[in-house]
Amino acid sequence: MTILAIVVPCYNEEDILPETIEQLRALRQQLIDEQLISSESKIVFVDDGSRDRTWSIIYKACLRHEEVKGIKLAGNAGHQNALLAGMFAVKDVAHCIVTMDADLQDDIYVVREFVCKFHEGYDIVYGVRRKRDVDSYMKRWTAETFYRMMNRIGVKLIYNHADYRLMSRRAVEALQQFREVNMFLRGVVPLLGFPSAAVYYDRKERKAGVTKYPLMKMMRFAFDGLTSFSMMPIRFVSLLGFCSFFVSVLFAIYVLFLKMTGHTQTGWTSLILSIWLVGGLQLMAIGLVGEYIGKVYKEAKQRPRYIVDIDLLHWPMMASCDGEERLKKLSDFL
């Protein structure tokens, strides 16, 4: 029987987390009753350095329900690293892993279709949004522009797919071979090359809490993804440099022609504009080169992507204790 692990990264999700836990527990039981997954299947919450009661809620849920497990990172490692921490922790105890956000905006009952696709032989199943009606116009426009731009420059992304997906154990093991610190999962997962399928769903409104990806953070995330997979931005700046040089040659020929015909006029406007144009291009080029050098710098240091503070998934005494004894031993362990 297939053992499923649902990995949910959490950052300051105290408002929505209790409902998320109950809905995922109900979903797990439904899949067990339909004999699609094993009763050994788990729900793993990864606390990404939350500053509210998120870990306290996860901790208490672990005490009440054996199928709920928790991993606490030592600090805020970021959404992508929290996903990796959860996937790598459960890959040895699960046949397939589903990753999703804690805000319940993604339709959790699509997991049933994920598992069915897995049984059909697919190693990766993408959850793809049919439409983005619940997003603001600006967020929708920027997201769609990002997907189109990435596809045009040759980066293989699944359109309107975020991090709601199923991956088999061997797919996660292959993913673990990617050692880069700047991991952009939406671009890396399609590179694995395993059989994949897509399941479409409608995204819901957030029931509680606030988004952890406002517009500026989304733009930084998109820029990180772009510079992680393509040299196109720096080549574009090089093209601008060549164009600027070509225009300056034409302007020099024009000025020489005016001088030879005696029509030169003194003035500083064209000179100042030229200086500003060239100076702006140079600063932009230096900044973009610096972005790539910064990524090389981070990779060269080879610092760990995350550090686990508390791992209740692999705590050996959890399964053998009940009631007050379990509470006492877990408290002693913590």
Tens digits of residue pLDDT in 161-180: 888 999 999 999 999 998 88
Q: How is residue 175 written in tokens?
A: 């993913």
- Domain that residue 187 falls in: 4-214+305-333
- CA 242 centroid distance within chain: 35
Upper half-sphere CA count for residue 190 (Cβ side, 13 Å): 17
Q: Please identify every stretch of the chain with a pLDDT value under 50, giving residue numbers as ranges.
A: 317-320, 333
Query: Does 178 share its domain with 323?
Result: yes
Contact 219, 142 (CB under 8 A): yes
Burial class (CB in 10 A: 0-12, 13-18, 19+), 276: exposed
Q: For position 263, what pLDDT does the model report?
A: 63
Distance of CA 51 to the CA centre of its chain: 21
Same domain, 117 and 239: no
What confidence tens digit (pLDDT) does each residue in 115-147 have?
A: 999 999 999 999 998 876 656 666 666 667 777
Residue 115 lies in a domain: yes
**Half-sphere exposure for 117 (CA within 13 Å, toward CB):** 23
Q: Is there a single domain that holds both residue 18 and residue 46? A: yes
Query: Tell me, what's the pLDDT at 221?
Result: 61
pLDDT at 291: 73
Cβ–Cβ < 8 Å for 79, 9: yes
Does this model's pTM top 0.85? My answer is no
Total domain count, the chain: 2
Residue 199 shares a structural domain with residue 79: yes
Whether 175 is in a domain gets the answer yes
pLDDT of residue 319: 46
Do 154 and 248 belong together in one domain? no
Residue 122 placed within a domain: yes
pLDDT of residue 197: 95
Task: Look at residue 120 in the predicted model and tell me its pLDDT.
Answer: 95
Residue 8 has what DSSP assignment? Answer: E
State the DSSP H helix or E strand holding residue 126, giving kind and residue range, or none if neither: strand 124-129
- Whether 222 is covered by a domain: the verdict is no
- Note whether 81 and 141 are same-domain residues: yes
